[in-house]
Amino acid sequence: MAHLLLRHRDIPDIGKMDIYQKNGGFEAFEKAVCKMKPQEVTDVVKASGLRGRGGAGFPTGVKWSFIPNNIWPHYVVANADESEPGTFKDREIMESNPFQFLEGVAIASFATGANVAYIYLRGEFWPVATFLDEKIAEMEKAGYLGDKLFGTDYSLRIFTHLGAGAYICGEETALLESIEGKRGLPRIRPPFPAVYGLYGKPTVINNVETLANVPLIVEKGADWYKSLGTADSAGVKIFSLSGRVNQPGNYELPFGTTFRELIYQYGDGVTDGRPVKAIMPAGASSSFIVADDKALDTPMDYASVRALGADLGSASVIVIDDTVSLDWVIGKTIHFFKHESCGKCTPCREGTYWMQHLIERIENGEKTKENVELLYSVAKQMQNKCLCPLGEFSTMAVTTAIERFPDDFKASVTGGKHG
């Protein structure tokens, strides 16, 4: 099947305005603005079953429908802060199929009554932001952005905003704080961004991949979109495959593709032909899946992965083979989350600090039952107590590694470190 999101793999120059137009580009936006009411656009997206691709999997159309019509102005913010170990899909979309993403931003803005949209990119995506600025300028020139679009009263402007190296800004309320020129500290919710978002106004925040789906849904309809994927998870998904595989990379596949197909058929198998030991299906914040035959043959959709005791999240699949010891892996994930904890809430700030100290002890020769139990206990105590998901994320790998791979935490097990 031709790619729907990574369309540049079939049409290499889709990032050029004339080529994008020749391939149906901006027809969906024009159709929405000229022939549909904002509510109708939201209804189509709702009916399509599209769910947020950033990790939470919340139904996109439902999110849009939360925007109240008695508080103005409204804002749309695209979350392009992709920063979690294992994630690298949004950059490819923005770099190679930029107009489809930007058209998605435009349609989301029309549907929610926003006249200004911001794209929040992580600071490291500086060249991507410069590139998008050029593409936005081309859209203005071609009449897709600006005042009185397509001869209607609707006006829209899109701006990029660069972060500066803080994973926490991928959390939507921290992201809003960052655009407001503050430190990226998550807000206490409620109120939710749909009511009190950017500058205290109703705001929709969607992931880049989510938005890239929108033009196709408006163009081809909800039923077409629902016919792809599974009953629980409509459409296609970009699976980012990394870790110990021969061909890591992004693979756009229907929901319901199995782990085995992704790893062996698309990823060309495990490095050095080793067996898969564990899978992290959603980046560093994942629970570990024990990679037995049942797990490998599990279809990757939200419900099926949940039944394995994990979440599909952003579908950033990290493959771990039998040469790797999981105490080393969680040493890495803990270090990441400790570094990125914003320090606002105590359970996360102190919890990640103590988890790091304990895993360092364990890694440095004190692999005792007491230290492993204490690490587990600290992680457990953090769960359900943190202000935002970051703190929660930091514990998932820790608790599930100890629960599901107890042998890796026995004193007799050494090595398995990776260079």
- For residue 51, the cross-strand partners are 59
- Nearer Cβ to other proteins, position 11 or 162? 162
Does 266 bind other proteins (CB under 8 A)? Our answer is no
Return the structure tokens found at 306.
């949940």
Residues in the chain: 419
How far, in Å, CA of 121 to CA of 58, rounded? 21
Minimal CA–CA distance to 149: which of 158, 160, 140?
Answer: 140
Which among 57-65, 105-113, 182-190, 398-406 is the span making contact with other proteins, rule CB under 8 A?
A: 182-190
Which positions from 46 to 85 touch other proteins by CB under 8 A, shown as an x/- string? ------------------------------------xxxx
In angstroms, give the least distance from the CB of 389 to other proteins.
16
Closest CA to 64 of 210, 216, 237, 219: 210
104 binds other proteins (CB under 8 A): no
- 173: contact with other proteins by CB under 8 A: no
Backbone angles phi, psi at 59, to 5 degrees: -60, 125
**Interaction of residue 249 with other proteins, rule CB under 8 A:** yes
Binding span for other proteins by CB under 8 A among 136-144, 223-231, 243-251, 303-311: 243-251
In the complex, the smallest distance separating the C-beta of residue 72 from other proteins, rounded to whole angstroms, is 12
* Residue 112 found at the interface with other proteins (CB under 8 A): no
Stretch near other proteins under the rule CB under 8 A, chosen from 24-32, 40-48, 88-96, 146-154? 88-96
> Exactly one of 142, 162, 195, 296 binds other proteins (CB under 8 A); which one?
162
Q: How far is the CB of 167 from other proteins (least distance, A)?
A: 7
Please select the residue that binds other proteins; options are 22, 148, 182, 369, rule is CB under 8 A: 182
Q: Tokens in use for 24?
A: 């149906």
Give the total of residues touching other proteins (CB under 8 A): 54
Q: How far is the CB of 269 from other proteins (least distance, A)?
A: 15
Rg, the chain, Cα only: 22
Task: Quote the least distance from Cβ 335 to other proteins, whole Å.
Answer: 8
197 binds other proteins (CB under 8 A): no
Residue written as tokens 């408006």?
218
Indicate which single residue of 88, 101, 144, 196 sits in contact with other proteins (rule: CB under 8 A): 88
- Give the sign of the dihedral formed by CA 115, CA 171, CA 332, CA 295: negative
Closest distance to other proteins from the beta carbon of 225 (Å): 27
By CB under 8 A, the residues from 317 to 346 that bind other proteins are: 318, 320, 324, 329, 332-333, 335-336, 339-340, 342
Q: What is the contact surface with other proteins in residues (CB under 8 A)?
A: 82-88, 90-91, 122-127, 159, 161-167, 178-184, 199, 240-244, 248-250, 284, 316, 318, 320, 324, 329, 332-333, 335-336, 339-340, 342, 418-419
